């Protein structure tokens, strides 16, 4: 019974405020705005260049690296920029990468109240003293917010993929690549949201956790890549998206299947561990005012 009403309370807290629509707008907005913005840039540059679509993005990157030593501004000329902004797979990868950066930042800001804000405001003292168990308090949070984020991210990814395929002529994203990319970024979003919820609830400092996790995910990913650890961990999911490994036909993604599955499995396992971490910390903080204290003498 407690769990049932806890779900009702959490869903009302989420759906009857701007938080639910804020999450939708944050992710769907990037899915719609980024392809349109990239298309505007492509139109401004004067259309797309005619080049083999399977090599366009790689040639731009290689040319940029070789030209950077010559002092040319930006390392990419107008023709190379046209090639880049005509690549549907590249624009799709950049769009999904924005979900995991500023999209996640907006989501964490919207969920601060659920991720420790109630403890900071002392709003849960009366329910807890009235017998509400911590597991019934935490389960709705670790079900509603991650699953809703997953659903919105997954659907928005398909919308972004459809827009990119319709707007850009080269390197169209296949249905399989679109599905794997949507699954990849959605699982990564769930992973970060669960980490944020757990750390915010453990510390009762959700506001401080927002910049820590926002900057921390980028630092950890850079550190792991710098050490050569680019596979078999949750942050590899973001690398697969930002590097275009799923959508580009030049990369044999079949060789990364084991790493991809392992990274997703570890992400979901850590999400479960984050729940038990929050449960253990909150139970450890609980003060039993009804315990009989034996006299010292």
SS3 readout for the chain: CHHHHHHHHHHHHHHCCHHHHHHHHHHHHHHHHHHHHHHHHHHHHCCCCCCCCCCHHHHHHHHHHHHHHHCCHHHCCHHHHHHHCCEHHHHHHHHHHHHHHHHHHHHHHHCCHHHHHHHHCCCCHHHHHCCCCHHHHHHHHHHHHHHHHHHHHHHHHHHHHHHHHHHCCECCCCHHHHHHHHHHHHHHHHHHHHHHHHHHHHHCCHHHHHHHHHHHHHHHHHHHHHCCCCCCCCCHHHHHHHCCCCCCCCCCHHHHHHHHHHHHHHHHHHHHHHHHHHHHHHHHHCCCCCCCCCCCC
Segments in the chain below pLDDT 70: 1, 46-77, 79, 117-131, 249-250, 286-297
Q: Give the per-residue pLDDT at 25.
A: 92
Q: Give the per-residue pLDDT at 186.
A: 94
pTM: 0.82
Q: Give the per-residue pLDDT at 65.
A: 43
């Amino acid at each position: 019974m407690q769990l049932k009403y806890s779900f009702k309370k959490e869903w009302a807290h989420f759906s009857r405020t701007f938080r639910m629509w804020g999450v939708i707008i944050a992710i769907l907005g990037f899915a719609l705005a980024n392809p349109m913005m990239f298309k505007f840039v492509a139109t401004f540059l004067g259309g797309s260049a005619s080049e083999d679509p399977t090599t366009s993005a790689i040639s731009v990157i290689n040319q940029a690296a070789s030209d950077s030593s010559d002092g040319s501004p930006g390392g990419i000329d107008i023709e190379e920029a046209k090639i880049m902004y005509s690549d549907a797979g590249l624009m799709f990868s950049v769009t999904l990468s924005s979900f995991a950066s500023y999209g996640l930042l907006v989501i964490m800001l919207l969920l601060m109240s659920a991720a420790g804000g109630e403890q900071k405001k002392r709003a849960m003292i009366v329910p807890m003293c009235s017998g509400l168990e911590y597991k019934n308090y935490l389960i709705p949070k670790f079900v509603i917010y991650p699953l809703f984020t997953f659903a919105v991210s997954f659907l928005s990814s398909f919308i972004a993929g459809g827009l990119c395929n319709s707007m850009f002529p080269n390197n169209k994203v296949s249905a399989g690549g679109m599905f794997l990319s949507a699954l990849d970024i959605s699982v990564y979003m769930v992973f970060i949201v669960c980490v944020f919820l757990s750390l915010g609830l453990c510390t009762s400092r959700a506001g401080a956790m927002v910049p820590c996790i926002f900057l921390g995910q980028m630092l950890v990913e850079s550190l792991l890549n710098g050490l050569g650890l680019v596979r078999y961990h949750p942050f590899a999911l973001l690398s697969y998206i930002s590097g275009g490994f799923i959508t580009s036909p030049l990369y044999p993604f079949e060789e990364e299947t084991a790493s991809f599955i392992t990274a997703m499995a570890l992400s979901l396992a850590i999400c479960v561990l984050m729940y038990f971490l929050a449960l253990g910390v909150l139970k450890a903080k609980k003060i039993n005012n009804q315990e009989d204290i034996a006299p010292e003498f």
